[in-house]
Amino acid sequence: MKIVIQRVSKASVTIAGEKVANINQGFLILVGIVSEDTAEDIIWLTNKIVNLRVFEDDKDVMNHSIKDIDGDVIVVSQFTLHAATKKGNRPSYIKAAKPDVAIPLYESFVKQLHKDLGKPVQTGQFGADMKVELLNDGPVTIIIDSKSKA
C-alpha cells in the first residue's frame, strides 16, 4: 500500500459537481493499493499517519501530529500511485489491485484511520471521476510505502 500525505490548510473533493468532502487544516491522503496488501499494512500505515509529526509547535518546529492539532483528514483512492513508467510513454497500472480486492482494503483503511484518529474521516468515492482541490501547507508532502517499512 502506497500513500501520499499532503499537509493542507484546506482541501475538498467534488464528484459530478457536488462537493462530497471538505476540510480545513489536516491531511489529504491519496491511497494506492496492490493485491499483496493486507490488514497488517493498513494498521502500520494508519499508526504512522496519526503519529507523523509534521505540524508546527509554538516554536515553528514540526513537532505536532494530526491528533495533537485535532486536524481533519480526507482519503482518496488513487490507483495511479502504482503506475509503471519504465517502458514507453503510457503508464501501466497492472500492479494496482482490481476493485474486488482494492475496495474492501480501502474501506478497511478508512475505518482503521477513523478508529486511530478518534474522529470521522472524509473520503472521495472509490473509482469515481473526482476533482480534488487543496491548498498544500508548507508545502509538506510525504510518501510512504508499506512495503518499504523494514
Give the active site residues: 78-80
The DSSP result for 26-71, as a single string, is EEEEEEE-BTT--HHHHHHHHHHHHH---EE-TTS-EEE-TTTTT-
Q: Cα(21)–Cα(39) distance, rounded to whole angstroms?
A: 25
